[in-house]
C-alpha cells in the first residue's frame, strides 16, 4: 500500500497546490522578466515593441541623465561597501559574544536590541533617525546615510553569522587551545576561517540591503545627495522611462548575482 | 528555525566569556545611539510645537496628538469632535495590509506546503527560487509591477491580443493594485515560516487520520492546520506588519485616493505638509500598534515552543 505513489492516494499531495505554486512563481518573476525584456526595446515609446537594441543601456551611460546616475551609483556603492563592512564587523563580534559567551543576564535584551531594526517599521526608523540627526544638529549628507545604513544592516549581517557559528562545534577551538593556542589565536586562526562562509553571506546580505534601501535614505539624505534608489524614484515620479528599465535590469542582475553567490557560499561546508 | 531565531539561538560554549562585554559593546553602542535614542527623540518631538518650514520649536504641546484624534474646526475654537481623517487612513492601512495578508496566505500556504513535501535535496532550491525576488530592490519590483499592470502595459496588451478583453482593465491606482504590490513585496515572509512548520510536521499523523477514513480535506483542516498554526500566524504577522507601514506600493501603485500611513508620515517630513510633531505622533501610533502585534506574536511563539517540548 505504501508503495502506491499515484497522486490520488498520496496523502501528502493536494490537488491544485502544485498549480498554485507555479502561479506564485509566475507572479514573482513575471514583472522582472517583462522589465528585462522591455529594457532591450529600441522604441522610445514604452510598450510598442520595435526590435532589440542596447540604446537605453548606452543612454544610461552617455545620455542626458547619465551624470546624475553615475554620481548616484558611486554614492550607493561607497555607502553599501562601508556600511556592510562596519555592520559585518560589529555583527561578527556580537555573534561571538552571544554564541560563544556562555549564559548571561543581558542576553535576551542584547538580542532584542540587535533585531530592533527588523521589528520597528522601516518608515518609523527613517523618521526617528531624521529627527535624531536634526536634534543633535548633525548636517545631513552622505555621512548620515552611512550611519543609518550601518545600524539598519546589523541584524541582516548578524543572522547568517550567528546561525553559522551555532553550527560549528567548539572542539576545533578546544583542540587548538589544548595545543597551547591562546584565546586570541583560537579566535583568529580557527574560528574566523571556519566562520568565513557565514561572514561572507552576512556581508553580502548587508550590502544588498544597503544598496536597495530607499525609505531610510530618502529621509536622512541631504539636499542634492542621491543614491541610485532615490535617483530612480525621482525619475519614476515623472513617469516610467525606458532608461529606467535599463538601470533596473542592471541592478536586478547585480542583486540576483550577489544572492546566488551568498547562497552557494553559505552552502559550502568547510568544517569537513 | 523560527523558534531558535526568536530567542537568538542558544549559546554553544562560554569560550570567550571574559571578553563578552567587549565583543557586544560595538553592537550595543551603535544600536543604542542610532536606533534606540532616535526612537526616544521621536517620542519627545511628538510633544513639541511645530515650526512651519519643518523642524520644531522646543515648547511642550499636545497639538500633534490633538490634531490626530480631534477636529476643533477651522479656527480651533469649536467643541472637539472626533477627527476621522487620520483614523480612516490608519483603518485603510489595516484593511489593505489585511487583504494583502490574506492574499499572501491563500497563495503562500499551498506553495510552502508543496515545497516542504518535495524530496529533501530539491527543497533548498525551491526556497531559493521563492526568496530571490525578495532581494531585488523593492523600488524596482514595485516599478516593474506598475509597468506590467499599466493600462497600456504588457498584461493588458496581451489580454487584448488574445481577444479576452476589448479595452484595458484599469488596475493601477486601485486598492487591488496596492494589495498585489504588498503581496509581491512580502510573500517570502509568509512562505518561509509555514514551510519550516510543515517540514517539521510528522506525516504519520496524516496517515493515521487516513487509516481512520478521514478525507484529505478533513485531515488538512483537523490535523495538519492545527499543528502548523504557529508557522501560519508567524507568516501572517511578518506580512501584515511591514505592509501596514509600507510607502512604495501605495505611493506608486495606489495613487492619491489610496493614501496609507506611510504616505501620511512621509508627507509631514518630505512633502508640503511639513508638520514634524504630527509626523512623529503618527509614527508613534504606528509603532505602538506594531509592537503590540509583535508582543502577541512573541507570547504565542513562546507558548508553542513550550508545547512542542
pLDDT at A2 over 80: no
Cβ-nearest to B27 among A12, A94, A240 = A94
| B230-255: average pLDDT | 89
pLDDT of amino acid B280: 94
User: Got the DSSP string for chain A?
Assistant: -TT---TTT-TT--TTHHHHHHHHHHHHHHHHHHHHHHTTB--SSSSS---B--HHHHHHHHSTTHHHHHHHHHHHHHHHHHHHHHHHHHHHHHHHHHHSS---TTHHHHHHHHHHHHHS-HHHHHHHHHHHHHHTTPPPSHHHHHHHHHHHHHHHHHHHHHHHHHHS-THHHHHHHHTT--HHHIIIIIIHHHHHHHHHHHHHHHHHHHHH--HHHHHHPPTT---HHHHHHHHHTT---HHHHHHHHHHHHHHHHHHHHHHHHHH--TT-
The Cα of B129 is separated from the nearest Cα of chain A by a number of Å equal to 8
pLDDT tens, residue by residue, A22-57 = 999 998 999 999 889 888 888 777 767 777 888 888
The Cα of B74 is separated from the nearest Cα of chain A by a number of Å equal to 28
- How many CB pairs (< 8 A) connect A and B? 298
Contact A251 B140 (CB under 8 A): yes
pLDDT tens, residue by residue, A113-132 = 998 888 888 999 999 999 99
Cβ-nearest to B216 among A14, A165, A186 = A14
Classify residue B22: in a domain, yes or no. no
Contact A125 B128 (CB under 8 A): no
pLDDT at A3 over 80: no
Classify residue B27: in a domain, yes or no. no
Q: Which residues of A touch B105 (CB under 8 A)?
A: none
Of B124 and A151, which is predicted with more confidence? A151
The Cα of B126 is separated from the nearest Cα of chain A by a number of Å equal to 10
Cβ-nearest to B30 among A108, A150, A240 = A150
pLDDT of amino acid B114: 93
Contact B130 A25 (CB under 8 A): yes
What is d(CA A233, CA B264) in angstroms, rounded to the nearest whole number? 18
pLDDT at B5 over 70: no
Per-residue HEC secondary structure of A73-99 comes to: HHHHHHHHHHHHHHHHHHHHHHHHHHH
pLDDT of amino acid B308: 56
Classify residue B31: in a domain, yes or no. no
Element (H, E) at B87: helix B84-116
Q: Which candidate, B120, B264, B131, B259, places its Cα nearest to that of B190?
A: B131
The Cα of B240 is separated from the nearest Cα of chain A by a number of Å equal to 11
Contact B147 A229 (CB under 8 A): no
pLDDT of amino acid A92: 95
C-alpha distances in Å from residue B171, one per residue of A237, A241, B180, B219: 18, 20, 10, 38
Contact B35 A214 (CB under 8 A): no
Q: Which candidate, A95, A99, A94, A104, places its Cα nearest to that of B12?
A: A99
| B241-247: average pLDDT | 90
Of A206 and B59, which is predicted with more confidence? A206
Name the residue of chain A whose CA is nearest to B20's CA.
A97
Averaged pLDDT score across all residues of chain B: 85
Contact B152 A244 (CB under 8 A): no
Element (H, E) at B60: strand B56-60
| Residue A7 binned pLDDT confidence (cut-offs 50, 70, 90) | very low
Share of chain A above pLDDT 70, in %: 94
| Residue B75 binned pLDDT confidence (cut-offs 50, 70, 90) | confident
pLDDT of amino acid B6: 41
Per-residue HEC secondary structure of A138-159 comes to: CCCCHHHHHHHHHHHHHHHHHH
Contact B113 A27 (CB under 8 A): no
Classify residue B54: in a domain, yes or no. no
pLDDT at B2 over 60: no
Classify residue B252: in a domain, yes or no. yes
pLDDT of amino acid B307: 67
Contact B133 A240 (CB under 8 A): no
Averaged pLDDT score across all residues of chain A: 86
pTM exceeds 0.90 for this model: no
| B45-69: average pLDDT | 85
Q: Which residues of A touch B39 (CB under 8 A)?
A: 120, 124, 128
Cβ-nearest to A17 among B114, B143, B266 = B114
pLDDT of amino acid B223: 82
Mutate to test the interface with B, among A41, A95, A124 (most CBs of B within 10 A): A124
pLDDT of amino acid B213: 83
Give the count of domains, chain B. 1
Cβ-nearest to A251 among B37, B137, B207 = B137
Classify residue B242: in a domain, yes or no. yes
Quick one: DSSP state of residue B254?
A: I
pLDDT tens, residue by residue, B7-43 = 445 666 778 888 888 999 999 999 999 999 999 999 9
C-alpha cell at B205: 499523523
Contact B144 A131 (CB under 8 A): no
Classify residue B68: in a domain, yes or no. no
Q: Which residues of A touch B266 (CB under 8 A)?
A: 123, 218
Q: B210: burial class by Cβ within 10 Å (0-12, 13-18, 19+)?
A: middle
Of B200 and B284, which is predicted with more confidence? B284
C-alpha distances in Å from residue A207, one per residue of A55, A126, B137: 29, 18, 12
Classify residue B111: in a domain, yes or no. yes
Cβ-nearest to A214 among B124, B138, B150 = B138
Name the residue of chain B whose CA is nearest to A118's CA.
B242
Cβ-nearest to B12 among A38, A100, A229 = A100
Contact B14 A96 (CB under 8 A): no
pLDDT tens, residue by residue, A160-202 = 898 888 888 888 888 888 888 888 888 888 888 888 888 998 9
Mutate to test the interface with A, among B17, B21, B135 (most CBs of A within 10 A): B135
pLDDT of amino acid A270: 59
When mean pLDDT is compared across A174-178, B238-242, B248-252, B271-275, the lowest value belongs to: B271-275
CATH of the domain at B119: 1.10.3720.10
The Cα of B70 is separated from the nearest Cα of chain A by a number of Å equal to 23
The Cα of A155 is separated from the nearest Cα of chain B by a number of Å equal to 10
Helix (H, G, I), strand (E, B), or coil: what is residue B173? coil
pLDDT tens, residue by residue, A67-97 = 889 999 999 999 999 999 999 999 999 999 9
Contact A59, A243 (CB under 8 A): yes
Quick one: DSSP state of residue B260?
A: -
Contact B9 A129 (CB under 8 A): no
Contact B207, B223 (CB under 8 A): no
Domain of B138, in residue numbers: 89-268
Amino acid at each position: 500500500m505504501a508503495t502506491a505513489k499515484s497522486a490520488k492516494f498520496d496523502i501528502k499531495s493536494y490537488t491544485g497546490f502544485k498549480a498554485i505554486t507555479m502561479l506564485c512563481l509566475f507572479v514573482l518573476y513575471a514583472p522582472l522578466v517583462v522589465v528585462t525584456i522591455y529594457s532591450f526595446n529600441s522604441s522610445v515609446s514604452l510598450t510598442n515593441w520595435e526590435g532589440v537594441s542596447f540604446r537605453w543601456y548606452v543612454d544610461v551611460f552617455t545620455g542626458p541623465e547619465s551624470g546624475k546616475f553615475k554620481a548616484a551609483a558611486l554614492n550607493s556603492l561607497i555607502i553599501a561597501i562601508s556600511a556592510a563592512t562596519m555592520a559585518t564587523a560589529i555583527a561578527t563580534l556580537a555573534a561571538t559574544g552571544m554564541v560563544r559567551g556562555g549564559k548571561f543576564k543581558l542576553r535576551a535584551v542584547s538580542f532584542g536590541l540587535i533585531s530592533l531594526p527588523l521589528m520597528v517599521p522601516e518608515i518609523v526608523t527613517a523618521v526617528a533617525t531624521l529627527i535624531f540627526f536634526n536634534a543633535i544638529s548633525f548636517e545631513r549628507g552622505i555621512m548620515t546615510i552611512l550611519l543609518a545604513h550601518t545600524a539598519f544592516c546589523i541584524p541582516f549581517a548578524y543572522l547568517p553569522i550567528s546561525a553559522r557559528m551555532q553550527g560549528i562545534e567548539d572542539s576545533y577551538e578546544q583542540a587548538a587551545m589544548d595545543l597551547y593556542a591562546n584565546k586570541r589565536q583560537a579566535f583568529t586562526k580557527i574560528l574566523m576561517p571556519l566562520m568565513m562562509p557565514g561572514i561572507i553571506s552576512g556581508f553580502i546580505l548587508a550590502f544588498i540591503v544597503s544598496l536597495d534601501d530607499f525609505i531610510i535614505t530618502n529621509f536622512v539624505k541631504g539636499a542634492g545627495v542621491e543614491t541610485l534608489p532615490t535617483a530612480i524614484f525621482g525619475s519614476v515620479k515623472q513617469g516610467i522611462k525606458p532608461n529606467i528599465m535599463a538601470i533596473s535590469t542592471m541592478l536586478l542582475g547585480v542583486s540576483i548575482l550577489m544572492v546566488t553567490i551568498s547562497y552557494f557560499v553559505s552552502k559550502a561546508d568547510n568544517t569537513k | 528555525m523560527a523558534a531558535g531565531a526568536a530567542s537568538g539561538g542558544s549559546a554553544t560554549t562560554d569560550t570567550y566569556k571574559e571578553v563578552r562585554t567587549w565583543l557586544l559593546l560595538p553592537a550595543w553602542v551603535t544600536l543604542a545611539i542610532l536606533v534606540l535614542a532616535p526612537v526616544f527623540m521621536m517620542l519627545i518631538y511628538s510633544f513639541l510645537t511645530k515650526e512651519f518650514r519643518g523642524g520644531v520649536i522646543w515648547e511642550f504641546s499636545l497639538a500633534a496628538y490633538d490634531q490626530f484624534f480631534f477636529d476643533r474646526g477651522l479656527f480651533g475654537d469649536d467643541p472637539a469632535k472626533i477627527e476621522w481623517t487620520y483614523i480612516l487612513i490608519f483603518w485603510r492601512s489595516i484593511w489593505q495590509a489585511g487583504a494583502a495578508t490574506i492574499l499572501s496566505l491563500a497563495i503562500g500556504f499551498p506553495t510552502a506546503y508543496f515545497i516542504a513535501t518535495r524530496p529533501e535535496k530539491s527543497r533548498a532550491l525551491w526556497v531559493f527560487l521563492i526568496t530571490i525576488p525578495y532581494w531585488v530592490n523593492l523600488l524596482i519590483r514595485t516599478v516593474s509591477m506598475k509597468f506590467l499592470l499599466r493600462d497600456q502595459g504588457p498584461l493588458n496588451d496581451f489580454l487584448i491580443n488574445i481577444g479576452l478583453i476589448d479595452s484595458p482593465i484599469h488596475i493601477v491606482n486601485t486598492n487591488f493594485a496596492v494589495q498585489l504590490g504588498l503581496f509581491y513585496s512580502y510573500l517570502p515572509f509568509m512562505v518561509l515560516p509555514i514551510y519550516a512548520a510543515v517540514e517539521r510536521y510528522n506525516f504519520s499523523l496524516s496517515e493515521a487520520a487516513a487509516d481512520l477514513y478521514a478525507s484529505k480535506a478533513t485531515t488538512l483542516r483537523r490535523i495538519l492546520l492545527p499543528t502548523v498554526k504557529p508557522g501560519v500566524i508567524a507568516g501572517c504577522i511578518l506580512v501584515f506588519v511591514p505592509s501596514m507601514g509600507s510607502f512604495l506600493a501605495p505611493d506608486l501603485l495606489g495613487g492619491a485616493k489610496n493614501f496609507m500611513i506611510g504616505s501620511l508620515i512621509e508627507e509631514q517630513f518630505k512633502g508640503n505638509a511639513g508638520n514634524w510633531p504630527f509626523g512623529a505622533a503618527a509614527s508613534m501610533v504606528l509603532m505602538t500598534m506594531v509592537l503590540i502585534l509583535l508582543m502577541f506574536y512573541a507570547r504565542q511563539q513562546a507558548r508553542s515552543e513550550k508545547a512542542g517540548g
